[in-house]
A and B are shown apart, each in its own frame.
Chain A
Amino acid sequence: MKIDERYRLRETAGLYILLDRQSETADLTRIVTLNDSARLLWQHLREREFTEADAAAVLTEHYGLSPQQAAADARKWTALLLEHGLAR
């Protein structure tokens, strides 16, 4: 899958938020914030094709998670991306 390039990560008010470059078609009252691990994954995996295994590898490398835990977390993150239309 690939992160949709219409979204840009920006730090503001102490939060990491996704700004929609095509905001005329978006509901601007809904914003997406990323926590530290979601931000790490976003920064590592944007602008390229990636798989759940790639995401799990990032988590293992940075947080020292067990392969099972990293796979579960990576699955959760990619499911959320797809559910909210942030990747396809």
Chain B
Amino acid sequence: MSTLLHYSAAGLPLSFRELDPEAEGLECFAPFRSEAAPGPIVFSRDDTLTLPPGADTLHTFGFAETACRFHFAAGRYFLSMNHPRAAMLSAAGTGGDVAVHLPGEASADPVLRRALLRFALWWGFGPAALLRGALPLHASAVVHRGRAVLFLGESGTGKSTQSRLWTRFLPDTTLLNDDSPILRIRRDDIAAWGSPWSGKTPCYRNLSAPVAAIVRLRQAPHDTIRPLKGAEALAALLPSCPPSMTHSTQLTDRICDLLSPVVARTPVFLLACRPDRQAVTLARDAIFDTAHRF
């Protein structure tokens, strides 16, 4: 008899079986505890999980000095993470079943084990989330006067810095998430949610706000902002979608389907700027003073 622990992310119920994220040191999950009825997304600990022979490797990448491989086999996605001081294997189906093979507590570096588990849960949430209209974006997000602004950009472009400047210089502005907010895309409504995944900033907020704008950042000596439409907007958004997912045809198709309404209904901007107060004012005015035009 196993107990289920219930959480939610981006309004989607998440359950855990034989796996307690908070007991594993992932306190970032605490704000996401939920009394709601369980749904199809279930994370289970399964220490018998193995990679099926002949699995296709879709993508190889590094994370936390750990060699990671993204595979597809027997209708499921697999993530193998190998580090001499911790190794983990996860499997995720689009149906919502996510299995994680954890290394033994004694054999693994606890800090690394925690980091890998946090990543495995984010990764495992992806395929099921995409199928349910939830798109994790690599972004820093603020809520200004009840509406979310998401900042996108390559690592080191100043996403977090931009969010910090907004919360510092603008009234009624708070950080929503600093690494992986989740867009919930529905027919008439696109909202940004906080999530248990927020990079190095402990900002784990289980709340959402309608999206006012998505802003791609570029460092520049002078501050300029301009709206992006059509192909430019799409090109601004695609690189910030979960990178390993874009190596699967099925998941990429799903991402494209989700981005269509985002491009059609959400203002997207390119902000080229220095990290200063002028850039914040420029962007705020462009987004909030022209919002009625969209």
Residues of A at the B interface (CB closer than 8 Å) are 8, 10-15, 17, 19, 21, 23-24, 28-31, 33
Contact = CB atoms under 8 A, between A and B. Distances in A.
Nearest to B152: A29
Given A8-B249, A13-B264, A24-B59, A33 B256 contact: no
Contact of A23 (B216, B234, B247, B249): B247
A67 to B, nearest CB: 32
B253 A10 contact: yes
Contact of B260 (A14, A21, A29, A33): A14
Given A12-B256, A23-B246, A23-B247, A28 B230 contact: no
Contacts of A14: 230, 260, 264
Contacts of A33: 230-231
Nearest to A23: B246
B234 A24 contact: no
A12 B233 CA distance: 12
Contacts of B115: none
Q: Is the interface of B mostly helix, strand, loop or mixed?
A: helix
Nearest to B232: A31
Contacts of B231: 15, 17, 31, 33
Contact of A29 (B239, B253, B264): B239
Interface of B: 59, 61, 216, 230-231, 233-236, 238-239, 243, 246-247, 249, 252-253, 256-257, 259-260, 263-264
A14 B216 CA distance: 21
A62 B231 CA distance: 26
Contacts of A15: 230-231, 234
Given A10-B256, A23-B247, A31 B238 contact: yes
Contacts of A8: 249
A29 B236 contact: yes
A14 B263 CA distance: 10
B249 A17 contact: no
A27 B243 CA distance: 13
A45 B253 CA distance: 22
17 contacts: A10-B253, A12-B260, A13-B230, A13-B233, A13-B256, A13-B260, A13-B263, A14-B264, A19-B252, A19-B256, A21-B247, A21-B249, A24-B61, A28-B239, A29-B239, A31-B234, A33-B230
A24 to B, nearest CB: 7
A30 B260 contact: no
B29 to A, nearest CB: 30
Nearest 8 CB-CB pairings of A with B: A28-B239, A12-B256, A13-B263, A31-B235, A13-B260, A33-B231, A29-B235, A12-B260
Contacts of B247: 21, 23-24
A8 B263 CA distance: 20
